[in-house]
Chain A
Amino acid sequence: MTKSTTKTVTKAAPKESTNAASEFGQIVSKFFDDYQKSTPVKLKAIDAYLGYTFFTGVIQFVYCCLVGTFPFNAFLSGFISCVTSFVLGVSLRLQLNPENKDQFQWSDERAFGDFLFAHFVLHLVVMNFIG
């Protein structure tokens, strides 16, 4: 941590605008570094899944804006499927995160079981609504 402090001291002299920009860049790169090092592989897997779900949802929404809402039920079921998968994934990630362990009274397996059950209900509804 001494390394970072010496870095900031030497940089006090130059202009403020470049200072702000490079600080922001520094924060982002630090964030990514920390993320790489400190998150468990399980959570990274969930994050990858969440990213995938998010982009699928965005693509569907853009498609609907372009093409129109004709089979509105199909659009809704596809979009809701993405959104709900995202939400369930987020809640699973919360419950599996070791740093939040003291907030939940149940085990990881219970969390995963809830996740699967919710997904079962979700996909049942989606299949019925998609027509």
Chain B
Amino acid sequence: MILHALLLGAAFAARAKMLVVLENDRMKEQYSSVLNQLNGKFETHYKLADDADLHLVKYGKNIYQNAVIMAPSTEQFGGDVTTKTFVEFTQNGGNLMVFASSNIGDAIRELGAEFGIEYDETGTKVMSHMNYDYERDQLQHDHSRFSLKASDSFLGGSEPIVGPPGYASLLIDNAVAMKIDKKNTLAFPIVKCNSYCYSWFPNEPISEYPMAVGRDISLLAGIQLRNNARIVFASSLSMFSNKLIRQKFVTYWDNNKNEHARYQNSVSKLAMHVFAWGSNNSGTFRISGFQHKLLDKENSRNDFYYINEEIEVVAFVEEYVDDNWEPTSLTFPQLWLDFHRLDPFIRIPFANEGGGKFRATFKVPDTYGVFNFIIWQTKLGHTYIEHKQQITVRPLRHDMYERFIASAYPYYFSSFSMMLGVTLMSFAILYHRDVSPAKKNN
């Protein structure tokens, strides 16, 4: 298991390859702010969505480690890429980031459906009549560009995904509503809309209940598959465009104060952190070492244990930071240790000693058998950490018990008294002399 983790590390050693699929060539400049961030960290390859030479998986292996699909209106991908290709890509451990927008195409819609993300119809937009961008409203009255206050929305609640707190607000523009299927337990919202949002065709009267309303609308959704592949679905591509990401403030009409007010736009911070998470640059951990031994210093043994012995377990956890595996910091949250034999007999948290070292001590339960040490952590935004190691727990040897058991003294006493009794009785029988008949008659 550690070998597997180290091999994973080897895969990370060189700069990871990333495929960026664009709709048209102009997007390279329009989204340069975000793309330059990626260019710096990865070996990026740019392709158009309908490029005949588009490949993700070749001979069953991923060509790239990460794929960013910035082509929302694609009806069909070029080359040999279909929805199944994307699924195979993620099954092989590749990370995916998919952007949609109001003019979403069938290919992206199907891709979302494959992972439990439902998109609203093409042409619909997420609109909010609270905090809509006042300046743009002068040109287009559809209120599809609005600011989402960070305290109103739900930022996934996880530091590896969205970074430290300190978001002012997010400028959302031209987003299509996303709904996460409840059956997909691995998917979670990173940014949810506030209660004032709804999704419908702009500038048209609403004739039926929209697909998603209020807090049901996810604007950014994340999935971490069981093989630790990460997928990010974004409902708006244009909010990451140079024009909007560089817009520092969003002006809106404050109804309570009856005046203009403005929020600061923190989308650049969101982009930085979410892209880092989505490409395994944040919240990626592995167990790099594991040892266990008897706590007794004189005769330390670790190939098997007896029941009721004190054991010490030490684990080392590393984090993937800037192309290197480094020991985790003191802020690494709970790492659990299970002592497991069909059921966890012991489940205790490790104590973080700093430098990526985690220590736990416990007493082996009063049950013998074949146990597994399981070190695990399933925290939102972290890779699933699990490491198992088997150990035997033997019952006490016959000479490891106390020589005379206190609660058995009555039995000891009674056995000896039986022997004494039979001796006395046999003496009584053997040496008893009947009184002579002559004496009796008198």
Binding site for B on A (CB under 8 A): 40-42, 45-46, 48-49, 52-53, 56-57, 59-60, 63, 67, 70-71, 74-75, 77-79, 81-82, 85, 89, 96, 112, 115-116, 119, 123, 126-127, 130-131
A63–B410 touching, CB < 8 Å = yes
Interface residues of B in 252-292 (CB under 8 A from A): none
Nearest CB of A to B50, in Å: 79
A119–B429 touching, CB < 8 Å = no
Contact status of A60 and B411, CB under 8 A, knowing A45-B429, A112-B426: yes
Contact of B430 among A40, A112, A130 (CB under 8 A): A112
Per-residue CB contact flags for chain B residues 407-442 toward chain A (1 = under 8 Å, else 0) read 110111011011101101110111010100000000
Binding site for A on B (CB under 8 A): 405, 407-408, 410-412, 414-415, 417-419, 421-422, 424-426, 428-430, 432, 434
Residues of A within 8 A of B417 (CB): 56
Q: Number of contacts between A and B (CB, 8 Å)?
A: 79
The chain A residue with its CB closest to the CB of B412 is A130
Nearest CB of B to A26, in Å: 28
Residues of B within 8 A of A77 (CB): 411, 415
Residues of A within 8 A of B410 (CB): 59-60, 63, 78
Residues of A within 8 A of B415 (CB): 77-78, 81, 123, 126-127, 130
Contact status of A75 and B430, CB under 8 A, knowing A56-B418, A82-B418: no
The docked-state distance in angstroms from the alpha carbon of A53 to that of B415 is: 10
**14 contacting pairs across A/B (C-beta < 8 A):** A40-B434, A41-B434, A45-B425, A49-B424, A60-B414, A63-B410, A70-B407, A71-B411, A74-B405, A75-B408, A78-B411, A85-B421, A112-B430, A126-B418
Nearest CB of A to B373, in Å: 30
Nearest CB of B to A72, in Å: 10
The docked-state distance in angstroms from the alpha carbon of A63 to that of B412 is: 13
B432–A70 touching, CB < 8 Å = no
Residues of B within 8 A of A70 (CB): 405, 407-408
The chain A residue with its CB closest to the CB of B425 is A49
Residues of A within 8 A of B432 (CB): 41-42, 45
Residues of B within 8 A of A74 (CB): 405, 408, 411-412
Nearest CB of B to A13, in Å: 41
B407–A71 touching, CB < 8 Å = yes
Q: Beyond A46-B429, A49-B422, A70-B408: 9 further Cβ-contacts under 8 Å?
A: A41-B432, A49-B424, A57-B414, A71-B408, A74-B412, A78-B410, A78-B412, A82-B418, A130-B408
Residues of B within 8 A of A85 (CB): 418, 421-422
The chain B residue with its CB closest to the CB of A96 is B429
